[in-house]
Amino acid sequence: MAGLLFGTGGTPHSAKAPSTISGIERIAELGLGCMEIEFVQGVKMGEGGARLVADTATREGVKLSAHAPYFINFNAHEPEKIRASQDRLLQTARIALICGAGSVVFHAAFYLGDPPEKAYNTVRKYLGETVNQLKKENNQVWIRPEIMGKLSGFGTLQEILDLSIELDRVAPCIDFAHWHARTGRFNSYHEFTSILEQVKERLGKAALDNMHIHVSGIAYGKKGEIKHLNLEESDFQYAELLKALKDYEVEGMLICESPNLETDALLLQATYNTLLKAG
Ligand SMILES: [Zn+2]
């Protein structure tokens, strides 16, 4: 992967149709580099459809990732809910592979009142089983638990990096907006570089060459994230983040999840390119 690619979480609003294929074509027309396919309400794409998606992405030169369904909780207290969570992640990874997507992003769990260490051990166990199954299938897609914005959601920076260290083929999805909303901090150049330093120290320099990032404006309160906002309506210091990403030569995909999708993705990309030119 060359450099840092910018794209949208889901099909851009200005696509001809609300389909994945139209989305990929629109990403290319806009001059963006990547798109995350949103399977958040379930994986409804079949194998044939996924092959068409892969062909389109190759032809248009657009890199893909996939977001697994929201209905996943690797810390569920009922065994059948754990199994359903594993199945949903497996199903997403299998279809993502056919789409030619490099990564699957997912929301790993909720604490449900459990102490964080207990939740962590449960998530590690059941996610470990899932990645072992993918290994058996020779599915090489990166499995990326996301940093979550609400305090009730499993997924601190620490937890996501720990899972990435302990489990094969697991890597972080660093959602900078979520981390800012969750902590009320991490909104300045030095705080952003401190995150990148941690990634580098704990996962190695190679992790910075293969990053998966979510960015949006965000509203937050005492319990963390309230909702996503467009960047200009929020306090998120995206230019400082982009400078940090540039200075650390971060490569991979940056997915914009602002409500206006491609408008902010283009703003982020243009700001980043200006920084690159300034040297
Ligand atoms: Zn997400």
Ligand 1: centre distance to CA 22 (Å): 22
Q: What is the mean predicted confidence (pLDDT) over 42-48? A: 96
Ligand 1: centre distance to CA 171 (Å): 14
Ligand 1: centre distance to CA 146 (Å): 6
Q: How far apart are CA 234 and CA 241, in angstroms?
A: 14
pLDDT at 275 over 90: yes
Ligand 1: centre distance to CA 107 (Å): 6
pLDDT at site 279: 80
On whether the CB atoms of residues 56 and 23 are closer than 8 A, the answer is: no
- For 150, list phi and psi in degrees, rounded to 5: -95, 145
Angle between helical axes of 20-30 and 262-278 (0-180°, round to 10):
30
pLDDT class of 269 with cuts at 50, 70, 90: very high
Q: In terms of DSSP H, where are the helices of 36-146?
A: 47-60, 79-99, 116-136
Ligand 1: centre distance to CA 136 (Å): 26
Ligand 1: centre distance to CA 204 (Å): 24
Q: What is the DSSP letter of 102?
A: S
pLDDT at 151 over 50: yes
Ligand 1: centre distance to CA 173 (Å): 9
pLDDT at site 210: 96
Q: What is the mean predicted confidence (pLDDT) over 112-128? A: 98
Ligand 1: centre distance to CA 69 (Å): 9
Q: What is the mean predicted confidence (pLDDT) over 148-160? A: 98
On whether the CB atoms of residues 226 and 152 are closer than 8 A, the answer is: no
Q: What is the mean predicted confidence (pLDDT) over 26-33? A: 98
Q: What is the mean predicted confidence (pLDDT) over 72-85? A: 98
Q: What is the mean predicted confidence (pLDDT) over 211-229? A: 97
- For 109, list phi and psi in degrees, rounded to 5: -170, 170
Q: What is the mean predicted confidence (pLDDT) over 178-185? A: 98
pLDDT at site 1: 44
Ligand 1: centre distance to CA 279 (Å): 32
Q: How far apart are CA 101 and CA 38, in angstroms?
A: 12
Q: What is the mean predicted confidence (pLDDT) over 36-54? A: 96
Ligand 1: centre distance to CA 278 (Å): 32
Q: Which of 72, 65, 83, 77 is nearest to 20 (CA)?
A: 65
pLDDT class of 2 with cuts at 50, 70, 90: low
Q: What is the mean predicted confidence (pLDDT) over 79-103? A: 98
- For 272, list phi and psi in degrees, rounded to 5: -65, -45
Q: Over pLDDT 90: what percentage of the chain?
A: 99
Q: Is the pTM of this model over 0.85?
A: yes
pLDDT class of 67 with cuts at 50, 70, 90: very high
Ligand 1: centre distance to CA 277 (Å): 31
